[in-house]
Structure 1
């Protein structure tokens, strides 16, 4: 069991409770449902509630994209539909780690060669849409091995970003 802060109140959270929801391969209408697959593009929605677990803001698991046939990693485009997010972008060797803040209406491009974690850094529900190629599967192993990204986004202002000791 974990102690979770949810909008200022503490509750006990069962470890089986999902921390976020992903809705994959969506379409606005039937025309989009036909066009997107022909272009090898998938449209997804991710919803992350405003919560803090053990002092850390709730986030996605994190993943990398493999290289495409041209030898360049696949990019991913996000749009924040509601709420506030911090994307923690990092290269596999951690030679570059960048935090990008975005709020409703803004777009963030995850460049080739970067893995990413999405963190609900606000006090409201975070809803994001993304476009990504259907030609690969995300790589989660390095994030699992590191037990997350290079840094943890902490609620405590004194600590803020805390380096992952991995």
Structure 2
């Protein structure tokens, strides 16, 4: 039910208006309804773009941009990548999980751990499209805080 039908239904119940489609009150309601329906459509769009699961336009693009993603591929795959980046599970701090996060961001890496010294080395196999600075920031953002993280671009092509 649109805004016009909704307003007409409520106003008709009062018995104050003759709403037969030809009165001045009908014309006013139709004018109001045009604006209200347009706003309702905009709000629906805003709500859809506010959540990863339902976004497909600017909401998805803004989130991808924040993570340094390129935003190519099917919408469902793009949403899945963003959800993986934001997911926290019981394995969220494993070497494999860090590797998957970086892969989802388009980075080809090899990760090694040195438990005795408390270090993790992220070796880049290819130079990341986002640039070295953004790649280092991404690694530091997702790496375990209790370990020293080193980045190695020496073999990157």
TM over 0.5: same fold? no
Normalising by the smaller structure, the TM-score range is under 0.3
The higher relative CO (CA closer than 8 Å, separation ≥ 6) is in: 1
Return the index of the structure with the highest Cα Rg: 2
| TM-score (normalised: structure 1) | 0.22
The structure that is strand-richer by fraction is: 1
